[in-house]
Chains A and B, each alone.
Chain A
Amino acid sequence: DVKVTQSSRYLVKRTGEKVFLECVQDMDHENMFWYRQDPGLGLRLIYFSYDVKMKEKGDIPEGYSVSREKKERFSLILESASTNQTSMYLCASSPPGQQNYNEQFFGPGTRLTVL
C-alpha cells in the first residue's frame, strides 16, 4: 500500500516564525502536492512537484515555498507565518503519466495554528 506520512498532526506556531512541514512517500511517485484545506473552500493547491528539484506554483502559492531535494520528500515552508495561514495542510503523491488515473494518495494532514 502507498504510504504518505506528514511530520506532525498538530502544530502551533507564532506569527513571524519560519515553519517547515515535511511529507514523505514510499511508493517512488514522481508527483507530489501540497494543499491547504479550509471549510467551505475545499482543497486548494499551493505547490506541486513532478520531479526532484522541480516545482510548480499552484493556485495559492503566496507566502509559501517548497523544497524537493529527494524524490520521496516534499517540504512546505512558511517563511514568516501569519495568522491567515492557520489551516489544515495536506500532502499527496501520485505516479506519473496515465498510471492509475494519476490517483493521488494523501497523507493524514497537519493542522497548523498560527498565534
Chain B
Amino acid sequence: AQTVTQSQPEMSVQEAETVTLSCTYDTSESDYYLFWYKQPPSRQMILVIRQEAYKQQNATENRFSVNFQKAAKSFSLKISDSQLGDAAMYFCAYRSGGSRLTFGEGTQLTVNP
C-alpha cells in the first residue's frame, strides 16, 4: 500500500522569508500524481500545486514550487516570500490509478509578522 509521510508536524517562518515543507512517499508504481493541499484555519481545503510523476520539470504556481525527486520519492513544497495568509495546515497527497488520494499527516505552518 502507498504511504505518505510528512515528518514536520509544525513549521514556522518569518513573513517574506522562504520555507520548505517536506514530504516523502512510498510506492511501487511508476505513473502517479502528487499534490499539496492547504487548509486555512476554519476554511475549506484547497489545492495548492500538483505534479505528474512522468514530468521531470518541477511544478510552479506563483510563490509556490515543488522539488520533486522521483528516485528518492520526495516531494517538498517551497513557499517563497511567505505571507500571513499562508498560515495553514498543509497536506501532501498521492494518487496513482483510480481516484483515491492518500494523505500525509499534515504540517502546521505558522507565519510570524
Contact = CB atoms under 8 A, between A and B. Distances in A.
A61 interface: no
Contacts of B46: 106
A42 B33 contact: no
A33 B93 CA distance: 15
B44 A43 contact: no
Interface string B85-108: 000000100010001110111100
B99 A41 contact: no
B100 A45 contact: yes
A90 B45 contact: yes
Nearest to A29: B99
A106 to B, nearest CB: 4
B50 A101 contact: yes
Contact of A31 (B4, B37, B52, B99): B99
A104 interface: yes
Contacts of B37: 106
B47 A103 contact: yes
Contacts of B9: 40
**Which size bracket describes the interface of A in this complex?**
20 to 34
Interface in A23-44: 31, 33, 35, 40-44
Contact of B91 (A42, A45, A101, A107): A42
Contacts of A102: 33, 95, 99
B45 A106 contact: yes
A44 to B, nearest CB: 8
B44 A106 contact: yes
Residue with the greatest number of chain B CB neighbours at <10 A, chosen from A43, A90, A107, A108? A43
Interface of A: 4, 31, 33, 35, 40-45, 48, 50, 58, 90, 94, 96, 101-104, 106-109
20 contacts: A4-B44, A31-B99, A40-B106, A42-B4, A43-B91, A43-B101, A45-B101, A50-B99, A90-B45, A94-B99, A101-B50, A101-B95, A102-B33, A102-B95, A103-B35, A103-B47, A106-B45, A106-B46, A108-B43, A108-B44
The 10 closest A-B pairs by CB, nearest first: A106-B45, A43-B103, A42-B103, A42-B105, A31-B99, A102-B99, A108-B44, A42-B106, A106-B44, A101-B50
